[in-house]
Every structure is written in structure tokens, then in C-alpha cells.
Amino acid sequence: MVLLNGPYWFMSLDSLFNLVYVLITLLIGGLSYKAYKLTEERKYKYFAVAFGLMSIAFFVYFTSTILLTTHISSNVTSILTGFDYAFLVYVFFTMMAYALLFITTLKIEDHKIRTLILTLMFTLTVVAYQYYLKFHIAMFAVLFLLTYNFYDNYLEKKNFNAKLVFISFFLLTCAQLFYLAEIYNGLFYVVAVIMQLVGFLVLFYMLLRILNNGREKRKA
């Protein structure tokens, strides 16, 4: 069963962390949608959709793991565990979200390349065996390039929020390595989840700084 990973004592905590990710990704998506409404530039719309898809993925993960760990219904449990449907839905939405994020932040304009990226991300992960490994390898590659891009952005802008985005994505990238190492020891899964949680909390802190600055500006 791919959806439930790591030590048993950690499963409920892991589920709850996904609710935190839902909140953070929805906030980012919301701010990006606000930018889209103000400028009508498509890049902000795609960015908002990417984070919206991430929210859906985390919500699917949260509800499925809660259903599996609480054993509410044996029918639901057998459906979810039959062919790892829940994990595949989670993978599908996550991969589509990161593909869109990749295309938007790396400013890939060519439609053919965009289609190729989306197709590759989809086929390499969902339509394949050993999708847990392939998913995290693909995620590592995408996150690594995104982190590199955010590092460049930090060097260019030299502002603290850009640094926080870079740190956050660096942690999310490292987390993928620990997810892969889980095949050797279940405790690596715990390290990966905590690293991912800290990564998202750094993003949340960055959002709070932006929202507070906006509020202070209005008061002034």
C-alpha cells in the first residue's frame, strides 16, 4: 500500500500536516489569482491554478489517509487500497501542479515544449510501474530546477522574501531524497515529511510577511 508510509505512530500526524499544506497552497493560489484579476496576465492565472491543483492533491491525501487510518468503512478501505487509487489521484494532481509551476516560473512559452513537459510528467509517473519511486524522482528533478530558478531570483532581487522562497523550495527538494530513502528505513519517511512541513511553513511565514506589509501600508 503506497499511500500509508512510515511508522504507524506517524500516520495520523502525516495526514494532519496535509491540511496545513492545503491552507498554505490555497493562500498562495489566492494571492496569485488577485494578481491575475488586477493585470489579467495569464502567468498569474497558471500560477494560481498550479497551487489550486496542489491544494486538491493535499486534500485528497488528507481525506484518504484519514479514511484508511480510522477504518471508518471496510468498503472504502478496500477500494482505496485495491490499486492505490488515492495515491494515484494525489500523484496526478501533484504532477500536473508542479508541471504548471515549472512552465510558469521558468517562463516556457513554446506550446510544444509545454505539451511535452506535461505529457512526460504524466506518463513517467502515473502510467508506470513503481510509481512511488518514479514520482519522487520526477518531483526531485522538477523541484531542483525550480529551486535553482528561485536561487537566481534571490540573487537578482536580493530581498528577504525571495530568500524565503528559495529556502522553502530547497527544503522541499531535499525532502524528496528522504522520501526515496524510505525504502531503506521507514524513519527517513518521517524526516522527509518534517522537512516538507518546515518548507511549507517557511512559505507560510513569507506569505504572512507580505500580508502584514500590505495591511501596514493601508493603515499608513
Partner 1 sequence: MGERREKLDIIKDILEAIRDKGGSIKPTHLLYKSNLSHDSMKKYVSELMEKEMVLENEDQKTKEKKYGITDKGLKFLSDYKQIKEFTDSFGF
d(Cα 186, Cα 216) in Å, to the nearest integer? 46
| Gyration radius of the chain's alpha carbons | 18
Q: What mask, x for binding partner 1 by CB under 8 A, covers residues 24 to 43?
A: -------xx-xx--xx-x-x
Exposed, middle or buried, 81 (CB in 10 Å: 0-12/13-18/19+)?
Answer: middle
Determine which residue in the list 10, 17, 47, 58 makes contact with partner 1, applying CB under 8 A: 47
Per CB under 8 A, 73 contacts partner 1: no
User: Considering beta carbons, is residue 24 or 31 the nearer one to partner 1?
Assistant: 31
* Sole binder of partner 1 in the list 164, 167, 171, 172 (CB under 8 A): 164
Query: Which amino acid, residue 129?
Result: Y
Q: Which of residues 122-141 bind partner 1 (CB under 8 A)?
A: none
Choose between 80 and 206: whose C-beta lies nearer to partner 1.
Answer: 206
- Find the farthest-apart pair of alpha carbons in the chain and give their distance in angstroms, rounded: 58
Grid coordinates in use for 60?
485528497
Distance CA 37, CA 34 (A): 5
By the criterion CB under 8 A, which residues form the site for partner 1?
31-32, 34-35, 38-39, 41, 43-44, 47, 105, 149-150, 152-153, 156-157, 159, 161-162, 164-165, 206, 209-211, 213-214, 217-218
